[in-house]
Structures are given as C-alpha cells and as structure tokens.
Amino acid sequence: MAAGDGIGVRLQVVVEIDKAEAHGAVVAGLSWLLRRKLKLDYVDMYLIHMPLRFSPLAKGSPVPREHILPFDIKSVWEGMEECQNLGLTKAIGVCNFSRKKLGELLLNAKIPPAVNHVEMNPLWQQKELREFCKENGIHVTAYSPLGANGTAWGNNRIFEGDVLKNIAKAKGKTTVQVSLRWVYEQGVSLLVKSYNKERMKQNLQIFDWSLTEKEASEISRLPQCMGLTFAPLFGAHDVTKWVR
C-alpha cells in the first residue's frame, strides 16, 4: 500500500527468512523458494525476519535454547546482497533490527537495507531508532500498529488508554484510527492486519483528516513500553536482549 495524493494498491511479494544461516544458504533458500514454491522469477523484497538464527531442528514454539545459534550478520548480509545482485529480489531489508544491530550490519554492507520492519505504535514510538534509520537512508515500516491485540505476541493497551480514547471521541474517529493516523503522520509505512472486512475499511479511513499539533504532542508524551517480547513465540529465553 502506498499513500500520497491518492491511495495506490499494488501486489508486492515480500519474503522473510527465518532460519537465517550463512551466505550460501540465504541465496539457495531464495532460489529454491522462487523456483519450487512461488513459481516467480524474483520477489520485490527479501527480508531478514530478525537477527536470530535457529537450528534447522527447531520446530514450533517454544524453541529450546540449544536450537538458538549465533547469528553472523556479515555473512548473512553478503548472501542478501548476492540475492539482489543476481536479480532474485528487487530490494533487501531487515526486521526487528536495533540501532546497534543496524550499525553492525552497515559496517560491512555494500548495499544498505532498504527497510527495517519494527514494532511501532503510540505506545512504542521508536523515536531514536527512526532517527537512526532516517540518517542512514533506511525506510521504516511499522508492524503491530495496534499493538497486535488478540495475537499470541500482542496486547490490548492501545484500546485501553484514555489519551487515545479521548482524542478519538473528540474527532468522531475510533481509537484504532487515531493510532493508525499517528503512525502514518510519522512518515513511515505501516502494516495493519485484519481478517474482518468492516475493520479493513475502517483502517483505510485515515487519509483525509489529521491530528492537531496538541493531539500529536499528547500522543508523543505517552509512557513507552515495548509490546513484543518474543517470549510467547520462542520461550522464556532472553531473546529480547540478544536482538537489541
């Protein structure tokens, strides 16, 4: 989805790698996926899902500690670059990379990541990370802009706070729309998920109005707390610390 003067919708094929191994496996993995599964010549975007490496034996959740292995950023990124150079993908990027991890990646990168997909919403605004990405020409995409309520990894905090509720009431919008509009106004793209047709429509109705300076300022002062801890997905390992 791209929103400018109007709203454009374009089908893009974006693939994320999860069990990121070293260079060769990154290239072979995408080649295999394109040929055998997707039946395509290339994807639009190839992303590292997170700076973590799992053993091929890791199945399901939680992941036993011994199946979480050291992640070699330099080697994996070389593989990503080769995928782009070979024309297997139009662009390459990352997800869940902190400033520190991006810094490590950029030290050796010949092609910088086009994008960093991270959790971002009014309660986890990622100001410093966004600043770092801007300085380094990396586009930010916000996932879980509603806090991923109703999922194994999310919570309902976006729906509960008075600040967003009161702004929504005053504007005749929903709390969800206020949250999505705030994310959009930060100049990032956003991924919001719904299986419900009415909610999908509601989620798209954020482009013909704006937050006032006062409302934006109230939201910018909300207490911050990271929502996605990874524990519901991988188990109670200190994964959050490893990916930071």
Ligand X SMILES: NC(=O)c1ccc[n+]([C@@H]2O[C@H](COP(=O)([O-])OP(=O)(O)OC[C@H]3O[C@@H](n4cnc5c(N)ncnc54)[C@H](OP(=O)(O)O)[C@@H]3O)[C@@H](O)[C@H]2O)c1
Footprint on this chain of ligand X (rule: CB under 6 A): 49, 95-96, 117, 143-151, 154, 176, 191-196, 199, 202-203
Kindly tell me which of 83 and 180 has the beta carbon lying closer to ligand X.
180
Alpha carbons 188 and 228: distance in angstroms, whole number = 19
| Closest CB 159 distance from ligand X, rounded Å | 7
Task: Measure the CA–CA gap between 242 and 52, rounded to whole angstroms.
Answer: 8
Question: Cβ of residue 227: shortest distance to ligand X, in angstroms?
Answer: 9
CB closer to ligand X, 171 vs 199: 199
Q: How far is the CB of 213 from ligand X (least distance, A)?
A: 25
Q: How far is the CB of 200 from ligand X (least distance, A)?
A: 7
191 neighbors 143 (Cβ within 8 angstroms)? yes
Question: Cβ closer to ligand X: 156 or 217?
Answer: 156
Tokens standing for 173? 């919008």
Closer of 151 and 240 to ligand X (Cβ): 151
CB of 166 to ligand X, least distance (A): 18
Is 66 or 150 the residue whose CB approaches ligand X more closely?
150
**Helix%, strand%, coil% for the chain, nearest 5:** 40, 15, 45
Check: CB of residue 19 under 8 Å from CB of residue 58.
Answer: yes
- Distance of alpha carbon 91 from alpha carbon 27, whole angstroms: 14
- Please give the Cα distance from 117 to 122 (Å, whole number): 16
On the 0-12 / 13-18 / 19+ scale of CB atoms within 10 A, 116 is buried
